[in-house]
Amino acid sequence: MARPSRPTSGTLRSLRLGLVPYAEAIGLQARIAAARRAGEIPDTLLLLEHPPVLTKGRRAEAGELGMGEEWYRAQGIEVADSDRGGRVTYHGPGQLVAYPIVDLTAIGPGPAPDVRAWVALLERATIAALAAAGVPAQVFDGLAGVWTAGPPPIPAGTPGPQGRPVILTTPELAAGPRPARKIGSIGIHVSRGISTHGLAVNVNNDLQPFEWIVPCGIEAARMSSVAAELGAEQDIGAVATAIESALDGEL
């Protein structure tokens, strides 16, 4: 059940919804996006968790679900198509999912939505929220998502899944013997200036299902969570508050 909306210090309205089936969340986003486009409501952030589900983004390839869809369903994991960008990823209880439904016409230098600027904003917000939880994090040019400290899973300078070379953005975080692990995922859809979908942060969720797929098309990627990095289960509500604060500060 949805809690009452939480006003932030700016114009972003936030709703914490608990555990929401993926299809239900998609329908809710569509209704909110239509209302936002009509100017009836402000930018709105949905914070929630999903029951176990594998979602296939617009660039997903069959080989990323190596066991076959029926095998995953037999494990109790739904398989769903998604209109977000990106490839295959997993959502499950204990993972915080944030869907900011935002009018992008106010973001970037021109009248058209600046999708790259929006993705960069989501990356910064994820990194800030992880820092508040005590986990240093980084991004790599050429690799999607947000990563823990350590060198990239694909050596710097070699092509990533999208064909672009992997480039370090914060070399001081990309040092050390332990490879970086993916802790946050980002995938969006923009239609008529309104962005849906958003980001997911692994907080307390089971990481085993990620071993059964090729997460986000990166064969060498290994996953982590806030709980795994800090050695104890975390307060997912505190991470939600950090996401609210980070996004509100950016918007």
As a three-state string, the secondary structure of the chain is: CCCCCEECCCCCEEEEEEECCHHHHHHHHHHHHHHHHCCCCCCEEEEEECCCEEEECCCCCHHHCCCCHHHHHHCCCEEEECCCCCCEEEECCCEEEEEEEEEHHHCCCCCCCCHHHHHHHHHHHHHHHHHHHCCCEEEEECEEEEEECCCCCCCCCCECCCCCECEECCCCCCCCCCCCCEEEEEEEEEECCEEEEEEEEECCCCCHHHHHCCHHHCCCCCECCHHHHHCCCCCHHHHHHHHHHHHHHHC
Q: Is 192 an annotated catalytic residue?
A: no
Per annotation, catalytic residue among 53, 104, 174, 216: 216
- For the annotated catalytic residues, the residue numbers are 216
